[in-house]
Amino acid sequence: SIKEAQDSPKTYEDIISTLPKDNGWKKPLYLYQGFWYIAFQLEGVIFAQQNFQTQPGDIFLCSFPKSGTTWLKALAFAIVTRNRFDPSSNPLLTKQPHDCVPFLEMDYFENPAISGPGGLSLWATHIPYASLPKSITDSSCKIVYICRDPKDVFVSLWHYLNKLRADKFEGTPIERAFELYCNGSSLYGPQWDHVLGYWKASLERPNQVLFIQYEDMKKDSIFHLKKLAEFIGYPLSLEEESEGRVQKIIELCSFENLSNLEVNKTGKRTHREVEGGKMDNNAYFRKGEIGDWKNLLTSEMGEKLDNITEKKLSGSGLTF
């Protein structure tokens, strides 16, 4: 079992080779604690479970991929660093948000001594709530989760994967990818279980887990940014509010601003998943809109996803 594998020093390969496997995508996915992973990310998840130690004051930004991770990283980073840098020298202007807030199961795995610029206590992860390192869930550290309408998430993922593939090999046809996604076999899927894990945690431990919807952050950025800042322990004072600091942070982190920065237009970051290792920073900035699924999916496909969402979330109190 996985437990035994974790207790004795087995290699990740040993652990992973015992897991259920899905060969529907270009790279095989493995089912671990109820969620699907590609091998290199799963190594990072297991490593974090075995080794990560929370420090007081750590803040965790959690998400299902393509749900607004980059945006949440930028917002939290801008909130936490607003008094460390003057507006013209914030690292967000010259570094990709992913290089400002490390991923637990990727960056920490590669370099356990890593921290964000300035030794900040901000971390990000796509690990589902139930699989988070015990050291996080046993602590009182703040956890923020961002989620997004599954239709837009699937479409965002589809475009992202095509970008990753960058003409190097043929992708999975969209109909097949959609079917796999609906069945839950996609990176960190099933999305609904991922969302519900954090949703329930936010209801049970409202002081530890803040649950944000991408759509709400878009529609009422001021309200949700202030709530986020307060929750993570960096509330904006009345004086800051009257100086327009809330608006400034929103503008700094807006899709328009970030996506037009040189670093995000032409820069590259290291990404182990990509052959050659370098990933275009602009792959994380596509449209940033609500409802773009309509430009790719048929209305039948949209309805199918909505039906699954309704069924899976029924009784939870959560809707999209």
16/197 with CB nearer ligand A3P: 197
Least Å distance, CB 50 to ligand A3P, is 26
66/245 with CB nearer ligand A3P: 66
Coil/strand/helix, residue 105: helix
46/283 with CB nearer ligand A3P: 283
Coil/strand/helix, residue 60: strand
Structure tokens given for 246: 């809330």
Could you tell me what percentage of the chain is helix, strand and coil, using 3-state DSSP and rounding each to the nearest 5? 50, 10, 35
The amino acid that residue 7 corresponds to is D
5/122 with CB nearer ligand A3P: 122
- Is residue 116 a contact partner of residue 100, using CB atoms and an 8 Å limit? yes
Q: Which of 98, 126, 194, 224 is catalytic?
A: 126
Binding site for ligand A3P (CB under 6 A): 63, 65-71, 74, 152, 156, 159, 253-255, 258, 284-288, 292
Least Å distance, CB 64 to ligand A3P, is 8
Structure tokens given for 97: 């948000």
Cis peptide before 28 (omega within 30 of 0): no
Least Å distance, CB 28 to ligand A3P, is 22
Structure tokens given for 122: 């901000």
Q: Which of 117, 120, 5 is nearest to 58 (CA)?
A: 120
Least Å distance, CB 8 to ligand A3P, is 36
Task: Please indicate whether residue 126 is annotated as part of the active site.
Answer: yes
Structure tokens given for 217: 């952050």
Q: Which residues are catalytic?
A: 126
